[in-house]
Amino acid sequence: MSSLRDYQRKRDFSRTREPAANDAAAAGHRAIFVVQLHHASRRHFDFRLQVGDVLKSWAVPKGPSYDPRVKRLAVEVEDHPVSYAGFEGDIEHGYGKGHVDQFDIGVWTTRGDAEEQLQKGHLQFELFGKRLKGGWHLVRSGRKERQPAWFLIKAKDTFAGDVEADDLLDAKMARSTRAAAKTPATKAAAKKSATRRKSIPKARKVSRLRLAKAAAALAGARPAPADNDFFKPELARLRETPPAGDQWLHEVKWDGYRILAAIAGGEVKLWSRNALPWNDRLPDIAQSLASLGLHSARLDGELVALDADGHSDFNGLQQTLSGEAQLPLIYVLFDLPYLEGSDLSRVGLLERKALLQKLLAHAPKHLAFSTHAIGNGEDAFRVATEQQLEGIISKRVDSAYHAGRGDDWLKIKRLESDEFAVVGYTPPKGSRSGFGSLLLARPDPAVATGWIYVGRVGTGFSDRQLRQLAGTIAANGSHKPTVKLTAVDPLLRDARWVKPAAVAEVYYRGIGNKNLLRQPSLKSMRTDKTATDLSDSDRAAPRKAAPAARPPAPGSTSARKGKPADIAISHPDRVVYPDDGYTKQDVADYYTRVMKWFLPGVIGRPTSVIRCPEGTAKACFFQKHLMQGLKHVGSAKLKEESGAQATYIYPLDADSVIELVQFGVLEFHPWGATVEQPDRADRMVFDLDPGEDVAWERMIAAARLVRKLLDQIGLASFLRTTGGKGLHVVVPLNPGCPWPQVKEFARAFASAMAQAHPMEFIATASKSRRTNLIYVDYLRNSRGATSVASYSLRARSGAPVAVPLRWDELGKLKSGHDFDIRSTPKRLARQRKDPWAGIDDTRQNLDDMMEKLG
């Protein structure tokens, strides 16, 4: 990537109106994108994305296209300063001479590190502008050009359609195009831009009339005029333990910023919890709310950022809002106190949330519904603790929406972090600048406006935070303490004290014997809160940590919650396989019909699932850890490769499977081990994956050869289609074997096949070398790796199924996806015997096999 030195070298700033490379003002705001229409010697669109403190730039001759089938050439050019985004007008001399119009500007997001994606040659991102919206791709071309060539491609989403950049020019840009037309090509472009006009495809809107009627019909609803002014939010009171009883529901305590949305006359206004307008900071959320098509509403929720794994990331949220990162932002909504002319503040919470869920049924992905569980507060808090979430919010199911803090909403937080007012600082030492540590205090419960000193925090600050805080908090102060001191600390001798204003959230390891925080480190500076918010929180002193609850044993009463399942499938008519018309209810019906064959392959095994909440046409994602709201699925703490423990899910019974389907699960991928013995494999899988141009007859021959070689060393094997292109040869191990032994055997076996038959097989994962070869994938045989379950659906067109077979059926197969959601239950109805009968009784292991393999 080029630097701003290239930008400066190519320009004479005494002769050009373009801005110089000075971008001190670029920090502190969301990362932007800008597209400029440039009438240079060759008319083109300049496409620019802010990454850090520069605009990465590409010249796109024909401009962006909304058609996903169109690959638009994008030639990489030098980085530009962020201030260039506001440039319009004529470049009169030298490099780039011609007129520049601003075609579009907005914010952009991406999951993961933008620089890393660009280095790898594929950046996936979203744009939130007036003209350019939705998902896009930048893919590096393999062609060798004088300048690096990329392709700009529209993602397949609700905004995709037959719209070109020239269709979206306004009158000013169209005039510029006509004025600059000098060659036959530019004249044709000018004529096209003057005649074609198309609008951007819009997302599906909710039925306002139906929702308005539903809102007005709720008990307690009252007619009321609409406005989009700030409204005071309901706040939660801190409590040590969750309340008991079914009169309470429990939500995740989201790790983000509280945001209030008010809509009137279709105009969306966003507010922070302390009444600051946030539309300019959150155009993506404002756009998403506007796309609902509501005339009037009030919504309450939490703004969170998602990292590359789809987990909320508070530090990432702050970095995104300051322009240091570009993570996708999600507005998680949990209340609806007003809708389409009806004041719902006196309607019971459960009814408000049910209406909110209907409102969000087809909402853009940047709006999410905060799910909840009713009753079992201790279990909800245990799950939150195991998943290392912030905690839970418990709410009375029949409560009204009241501004301020009361007893209807309670927050039960994990004990590892808390919020404190910053009341001073110590001087810096050594090479550190600004300050040494921040002094912290909590509200004094005995004095209405008093504060009690709890300690100091000096670790966890970034260089940028040190600079910012040095210019604010550490810019003044006095030697006189502004808080009550409960302990003598000699390091406070040179401290400077300030009035409580800023709020810091810190991690700590309990409370010491002088009531000071032990080993505190900064989690974040809470710029959305002030010290007044803490003094109004009616909270007690920080509490000491309690041990986390142990996960329930497989099949235990606690794991099953002691109740029979009553699992309703919400949105049963939602189409999840759009190419085939299969619905969410069809998926649930399928798993119900095949349940007795499906369960033996997943029950009691750590299982990764693929969730497609909006169907296979939209984003699908793997999930292996416990999620909030599950009542019938088992959970177990297992050690990961990093050494840390995580809570994995596993099916206990049929109720588990149907509940996961209700959560949008299509595919199930279990470990080759159980939760009771996670370090010992009882299944070994050889995945035969064909490269391009491999005929199916060769796949049949390959599977038979694997079986023959395994037979020769005394290992029985079983066959399964994958629902994709390949086949699985599965080897039961009874008693099980340690994972390192299994992985080494599988590697040696695959390598031996590749060496003996180099024109047929390959044992390395490189896709570039697989053409016309069959990859013998042994990597599924390591701790934590998974393989698709027998009778699991696949999230692919046609709704194919992975199906176990008898070896004598192999010759009749035409592909690895011969069976689907319709044909598989019919096959099982005709089946007299399980093709894998006896697999659990086959006693064999690898103790002597490595020596036989040679």
CA distance 717 to 732: 7
DSSP secondary structure, 602-660, as one string: TTTS-EEEEE-TT-TTS--EEE-B--TT-SSSEEEEEE-TTS-EEEEEE--SHHHHHHH
Q: Is residue 353 exposed (0-12), middle (13-18) or buried (19+ Cβ within 10 Å)?
A: buried
- Angle, helices 823-830 vs 584-593, to 10°: value is 10
Q: Does pLDDT of 745 surpass 70? A: yes
Q: Are 251 and 410 in contact (CB under 8 A)?
A: no
DSSP secondary structure, 206-248, as one string: P-HHHHHHHHHTSTT-EE-----S--PPEEEEE-SSPPPSTTE
Contacts of 12 (CB under 8 A, 6+ apart): 93, 94
424-462: b or e for each residue (b if 16 or more CB lie within 10 Å)? bbbebeeeeebbbbbbbbbbeeeeeeebbbbbbbbeebe
Q: Does pLDDT of 414 surpass 80? A: no
Q: Does pLDDT of 366 surpass 50? A: yes
At 195, is the pLDDT very low, low, confident or very high (cuts 50, 70, 90)?
Answer: very low
Domain boundary among 195, 218, 243: 195
518 and 573, same domain (yes or no): no
Q: What is the pLDDT of residue 475?
A: 66
Neighbouring C-beta atoms of residue 406, cutoff 10 Å? 16
- The reply to whether 352 falls in a domain is yes
Within 13 Å, how many C-alpha atoms sit on residue 345's CB side? 11
22 and 162, same domain (yes or no): yes
At 93, is the pLDDT very low, low, confident or very high (cuts 50, 70, 90)?
Answer: confident
Pairing of strands 257-264, 267-272: antiparallel
Q: 693: which 2 tokens?
A: 């141009």
More confident residue, 176 or 159: 159
Closest to 704 (Cα-Cα) out of 811, 805, 778: 811
Q: Are 66 and 132 in contact (CB under 8 A)?
A: no
Pairing of strands 582-583, 296-305: unpaired
Peptide bond into 148 cis (omega under 30): no
pLDDT tens for each residue of 297-340: 999 999 999 876 667 788 788 888 888 788 899 999 999 999 99
Q: Are 254 and 312 in contact (CB under 8 A)?
A: yes
- The reply to whether 643 falls in a domain is yes
DSSP 73: E
57 and 155, same domain (yes or no): yes
Q: Does pLDDT of 753 surpass 60? A: yes
CA angle 626/628/629 to nearest 5° reads 115
708-743: b or e for each residue (b if 16 or more CB lie within 10 Å)? ebbeebebebbbbbbbbbbbbbbbbbeebbebebbb
Mean pLDDT of 745-758: 91
CA distance 394 to 6: 56
Pairing of strands 621-623, 32-39: unpaired
pLDDT tens for each residue of 808-817: 999 999 999 9
Q: Are 36 and 168 in contact (CB under 8 A)?
A: no
191 and 220, same domain (yes or no): no
Neighbouring C-beta atoms of residue 125, cutoff 10 Å? 20
Q: Does pLDDT of 201 surpass 70? A: no
DSSP secondary structure, 428-495, as one string: --TT--S-SEEEEEEE-TTSTT-EEEEEEE-SS--HHHHHHHHTTGGG--BSS-SSB--S--GGGTT-
Average predicted confidence (pLDDT) for the chain: 85
Q: Does pLDDT of 275 surpass 60? A: yes
At 510, is the pLDDT very low, low, confident or very high (cuts 50, 70, 90)?
Answer: low
185 and 222, same domain (yes or no): no
Q: Is the dihedral of CA 844, 556, 640, 723 positive or negative?
A: positive
- The reply to whether 260 falls in a domain is yes
DSSP-H helix ranges across 291-344: 314-321
Q: What is the pLDDT of residue 180?
A: 59
Q: What is the pLDDT of residue 115?
A: 86
pLDDT tens for each residue of 217-237: 999 999 999 999 999 999 999
Q: Is residue 199 exposed (0-12), middle (13-18) or buried (19+ Cβ within 10 Å)?
A: exposed
Q: For residue 394, which phi and psi values (nearest 5 degrees)? A: -105, 135
User: Active-site residue 253, yes or no?
Assistant: yes
Q: What is the pLDDT of residue 488?
A: 65
- The reply to whether 750 falls in a domain is yes
Q: Are 51 and 30 in contact (CB under 8 A)?
A: no
Closest to 598 (Cα-Cα) out of 832, 824, 812, 308: 824
Q: Does pLDDT of 5 surpass 50? A: yes
Q: Are 442 and 534 in contact (CB under 8 A)?
A: yes
Beta bridge partners of 342: 223, 339
Please give the C-alpha separations between residue 696 and each of 422, 691, 717, 773, 807, in angstroms, as whole numbers: 68, 11, 20, 12, 16
166 and 269, same domain (yes or no): no
Q: Does pLDDT of 178 surpass 70? A: no
Mean pLDDT of 668-682: 93
Closest to 298 (Cα-Cα) out of 337, 329, 267, 268: 337
Q: What is the pLDDT of residue 294?
A: 94
Q: What is the pTM of this model?
A: 0.53
Domain boundary among 347, 373, 399: 373
At 533, is the pLDDT very low, low, confident or very high (cuts 50, 70, 90)?
Answer: confident
What's the CATH number where 614 sits? 3.90.920.10
CA distance 712 to 702: 15
Q: Does pLDDT of 107 surpass 60? A: yes
Look at 10-19, 96-105, 114-123, 124-133 and tell me which has the smallest mean pLDDT. 10-19
Beta bridge partners of 45: 37, 60
Question: What is the share, in percent, of the chain residues with pLDDT greater than 90?
Answer: 50
Q: Does pLDDT of 375 surpass 70? A: yes
Q: Is residue 188 exposed (0-12), middle (13-18) or buried (19+ Cβ within 10 Å)?
A: exposed
- The reply to whether 162 falls in a domain is yes
How many whole angstroms from its chain centre is CA 224? 37
Sheet strands (E) in 340-415: 342-343, 367-369, 372-374, 391-396, 404-413
Place of tokens 């008990």: 219
CA distance 632 to 650: 10
Look at 168-182, 287-301, 637-651 and tell me which has the smallest mean pLDDT. 168-182
Closest to 108 (Cα-Cα) out of 134, 79, 128, 90: 128
Q: 2: which 2 tokens?
A: 């080029």
Q: Are 87 and 35 in contact (CB under 8 A)?
A: no
183 and 217, same domain (yes or no): no
Q: Does pLDDT of 408 surpass 90? A: yes
632 and 735, same domain (yes or no): no
Q: 711: which 2 tokens?
A: 């037979």
Q: What is the pLDDT of residue 26?
A: 53
Q: What is the pLDDT of residue 550?
A: 29
Look at 359-368, 632-641, 798-807 and tell me which has the smallest mean pLDDT. 632-641
Closest to 253 (Cα-Cα) out of 377, 423, 89: 377
Q: Does pLDDT of 556 surpass 60? A: no
- Total tally of structural domains belonging to the chain: 5
pLDDT tens for each residue of 76-85: 999 999 889 9
Q: What is the CA radius of gyration of the chain?
A: 30
Q: What is the pLDDT of residue 543?
A: 39
- The reply to whether 392 falls in a domain is no
Element (H, E) at 588: helix 584-593
What's the CATH number where 429 sits? 2.40.50.140
Q: 239: which 2 tokens?
A: 């409590």
Q: Are 248 and 394 in contact (CB under 8 A)?
A: yes
Closest to 98 (Cα-Cα) out of 183, 21, 26, 188: 183
Q: Is the dihedral of CA 639, 642, 645, 651 positive or negative?
A: negative
DSSP secondary structure, 708-749, as one string: HHHHHTT---EEEE-SSS-EEEEEEEEEEEEHHHHHHHHHHH
Q: What is the pLDDT of residue 14?
A: 74
At 28, is the pLDDT very low, low, confident or very high (cuts 50, 70, 90)?
Answer: low
What's the CATH number where 287 sits? 3.30.470.30
Number of helices (H) and strands (E), helices first, in the chain? 19, 40
Q: Does pLDDT of 593 surpass 60? A: yes
At 551, is the pLDDT very low, low, confident or very high (cuts 50, 70, 90)?
Answer: very low
How many whole angstroms from its chain centre is CA 12? 45
Q: Are 372 and 237 in contact (CB under 8 A)?
A: no
Mean pLDDT of 382-405: 88
Closest to 312 (Cα-Cα) out of 301, 323, 300: 301
165 and 296, same domain (yes or no): no
Q: Are 281 and 30 in contact (CB under 8 A)?
A: yes
Residue 169 belongs to what domain range? 4-195
Contacts of 321 (CB under 8 A, 6+ apart): 30, 281
CA distance 779 to 561: 36
pLDDT tens for each residue of 429-441: 776 777 888 999 9
What is the identity of the amino acid at 255?
D
- The reply to whether 567 falls in a domain is yes
CA distance 151 to 138: 6
Domain boundary among 670, 697, 727: 670
CA distance 802 to 845: 25
Pairing of strands 329-339, 367-369: parallel
268 and 332, same domain (yes or no): yes
Q: Does pLDDT of 514 surpass 80? A: no
352 and 212, same domain (yes or no): yes
Place of tokens 């037979």: 711
Catalytic residue among 154, 253, 413, 743: 253
274 and 363, same domain (yes or no): yes
- The reply to whether 397 falls in a domain is no
CA distance 714 to 844: 8
